[in-house]
């Protein structure tokens, strides 16, 4: 749902406490984040940034890198059982390639309840509310458009969907509004 405070963030629910889908399998590693891009996106700086942010928050991140084929994402989600999938894209094709990716993951019997987030430059000319809603309808739990990304909102969502590593090294902690990472 789009809100006046965050018009570029769409969520599949009004209730923040209910944003995490119920999980069927106990083998899911809620501390692990699988990070990837879409198949046509050759950019890596966004992936490095998101990986460093999530690791600073105490998560174990498996970064599949740029130009990630859909089949590899599905296979790695099945193999590693992450607590959340984060798709980051900056080439403007997230809307086009994100929908079939979400549908493929939701169709898989072992991934039906996997929390999924997509964000970045989702359309070459920006992203409209209907475009963002189509990504939610395809299966993403949250969509972050680059026109106004709220870092605190993103980190709070990841914290709700997963748990950070309890024994993370010093300096790894949850960010809260008004704090810095160190």
Q: Which DSSP string do the residues of 135-181 spell out, in sequence order?
A: HHHHT-SEEEEGGG--HHHHHHHHHHHS---TTPPTT-----TT---
Return the bridge partners of 85, or none: 34, 116
Q: Is residue 23 part of a domain?
A: no
Looking at per-residue pLDDT, the higher value among 164 and 30 belongs to: 30
Residue 175 predicted with pLDDT over 50: no
Please check whether residue 37 lies inside any domain of the structure. Answer: yes
Structural domain harbouring 133: 28-161
Report which of residues 18 and 124 the model is more confident about.
124
**DSSP string across 1-29:** ---SS-TTEEES-S-GGG-SPPPS-TT-E
What CATH number did the domain enclosing 114 receive?
A: 3.40.50.280
Residue 14 lies in a domain: no
Number of domains in the chain: 1
Residue 131 placed within a domain: yes
Predicted pLDDT at 15: 39
Tens of pLDDT, residue by residue over 18-62, are 333 443 344 667 789 999 999 999 999 999 999 999 999 899 999
| Confidence tier at 11 by pLDDT (50, 70, 90) | low
Specify whether the CB–CB gap between 135 and 143 falls below 8 A.
yes
How many other CB atoms are found less than 10 A from the CB of residue 155?
18
| DSSP for residue 6 | -
Nearest of 139, 156, 165, 170 to residue 59 by alpha carbon: 165
User: Rounded distance, CA 144 to CA 153, Å?
Assistant: 9
The predicted model scores a pTM of 0.75
Within a domain: 15 = no
- 103: tokens are 């549908």
In angstroms, rounded to a whole number, what is the distance separating the alpha carbons of residues 106 and 131? Answer: 19
74 within domain boundaries: yes
Residue 149 has pLDDT above 50, yes or no: yes
How confident is the model over 69-115, as pLDDT tens digits?
A: 999 999 999 999 999 999 999 998 999 999 999 999 999 999 999 99
């Amino acid at each position: 749902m789009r809100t006046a405070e965050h018009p570029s963030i769409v969520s599949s629910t009004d209730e923040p406490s209910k944003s995490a889908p119920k999980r069927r399998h106990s083998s899911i590693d809620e501390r692990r984040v699988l990070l990837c891009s879409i198949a046509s996106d050759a950019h890596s700086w966004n992936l490095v940034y998101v990986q460093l942010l999530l690791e600073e928050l105490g998560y174990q991140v498996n970064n599949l890198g740029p130009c990630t084929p859909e089949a590899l994402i599905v296979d790695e989600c099945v193999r590693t059982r992450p607590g959340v999938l984060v798709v980051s894209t900056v080439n403007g094709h997230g809307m086009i390639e994100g929908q079939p990716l979400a549908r493929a993951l939701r169709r898989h019997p072992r991934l039906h309840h996997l929390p999924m987030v997509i964000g970045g430059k989702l359309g070459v000319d920006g992203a409209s509310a209907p475009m963002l809603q189509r990504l939610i309808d395809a299966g993403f739990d949250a969509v972050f458009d680059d026109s106004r990304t709220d870092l605190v909102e993103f980190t709070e969502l990841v914290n709700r969907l997963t748990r950070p590593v309890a024994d993370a090294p010093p300096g790894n902690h949850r960010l809260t509004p008004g704090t810095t990472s160190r």
